[in-house]
Amino acid sequence: MKALKVGIIGFGTVGTGVYKVLQSFPNIEIKKIAVKNITKKRNIENFDTTLLTQDPYEIVNNPEIDIVIEVAGGVTPTFDILTAAIKNKKHIVTANKELLAKKGSELFQLAKENKVIILYEAAVAGGIPIIMPVKTILCANKITKIAAILNGTTNYILTKMAEKELSYETALKQAQELGYAETDPTGDVEGYDAAYKIAILSTISFNKKVDINKIYREGITKITAQDIKSAKELGYTIKLIAMGQVLENGKIDVRVHPMLVAKKHLLAKVKNATNSIMLTGYPVGDLIFTGAGAGAEPTASSVVGDLLVLASELEASDSPIPQAICNHNEIADQINIGDTYNEYYIAINASNNPGAIGVIGTICGKNNINISTIMQKGTKDDNTAEIVVITERSKEADVQNALKELLKSDCIKNIDNLLRVMN
């Protein structure tokens, strides 16, 4: 294989990991690396600092460079930089889930027009191979459902809350100290990261363009130690689940939110920073992919894997990897969260007076909600009681209406939490 010349945009944790892995491949020549801070010390032995530049356009405009590796993240200015690279006929390998979720349609169309390829295995689940399997060996299947844990930070936090009985705040601090969570963890704990990933994965799995702006997103910041304890007593654990499914009417349901997952379920057994993806399709049935969803080495594995596949194909053909070309011309008809059906966990703070449970049952019944389980969690010093309700399968809009009615009742002090249930 002839030497392939590449440029790297972004040289943080992932970019450094990619650089180190590429040292094992003499047929890959790194021409330039674009960084924000050219004077920053790099923890790389015998590193050639002349490779560095603060101008990414030195890479995308360099006629010698065949492939651009983008691991900088973000949309601005990355979109403009990669647009220039594509127009200059350069293939792209990226780990940028936010960019692909928000601007992927434009980039893939431009790539098709310029006869170049965008590969992005690392964008969805770090080291777990999922994009190319869906596009190649699973292409004979009609995939109808995805249920996944796609964010290691939140899974670590929820694991420690369950195993060590920590508060959310304490578990988050621990995750930050260990490097699992950023100083500003918003992107992870509010579900943005998982939403970007499920948008990408749903688009390729269902062969329809999924709009990131229509994905219902809810993070884990409202999960309390009491929720974790109550879920455990009921036979569940709580996970941040990214879900996508094709409904019987052909509409698409894509969302990210915490769910009570039955302990017998395979996703309930996924702990700490591990990611896991369950696919359901015909004729293959159910599949599960589990592994490291983030980190320098796992993500570098996927980035370099894409690069080497592309390098091999470029040796054999001028039109490499036809399966990688985006042909999703149909826009998904995504439903609103209010039109979804789920079982629900509802934590209610009520006056410890006779009739409170009766009020809950009456209002639920008025709104077409059957109660599966109801339990009182004892009495507080202020003479209020914690009541936990598990419903049967109900419509989200009906449940939200019931909660509004409950809050108007004199005996209901607060709705402490509402979580959906997956069995």
The total number of residues shown for the chain amounts to 423
Does residue 192 contact residue 257 with C-beta atoms inside 8 Å? no
Strand pairing partners for 412? 350
Instruction: Write the Ramachandran bin of 232: left for phi over 0, alpha for psi from -120 to 50, otherwise beta.
Output: alpha
Catalytic entry in 97, 197, 208, 209: 197
Q: Which two tokens stand for residue 397?
A: 């809009």
Q: Which two tokens stand for residue 276?
A: 């896991």
Q: What are phi and psi of 328, to 5 degrees?
A: -90, 85
Does 413 participate in catalysis according to the annotation? Answer: no
From the list 37, 39, 49, 48, the residue with the least C-alpha distance to 12 is 37
* HEC per residue, the chain: CCCEEEEEECCCHHHHHHHHHHCCCCCEEEEEEECCCCCCCCCCCCCCHHHEECCCHHHHCCCCCCEEEECCCCCCCHHHHHHHHHHCCCEEEECCHHHHHHHHHHHHHHHHHCCCCEECCHHHHCCCCCHHHHHCCCCCCEEEEEEEECCHHHHHHHHHHHHCCCCHHHHHHHHHHCCCCCCCCHHHHCCHHHHHHHHHHHHHHHCCECCHHHCEECCCCCCCHHHHHHHHHCCEEEEEEEEEEECCCCCEEEEEEEEEEECCCHHHHCCCCEEEEEEEEECCEEEEEEEECCCHHHHHHHHHHHHHHHHHHHHHCCCCCHHHCCCCCCECCECCHHHCEEEEEEEEEEECCCCHHHHHHHHHHHCCCCEEEEEEEEECCCCEEEEEEEECCEEHHHHHHHHHHHHHCCCEEEEEEEEEEEC
Q: Give the CB-side neighbour count of residue 319, counting CA atoms within 13 A.
A: 6
Report CA 210 to chain centroid distance, whole Å: 14
Annotated active-site positions, please? 197
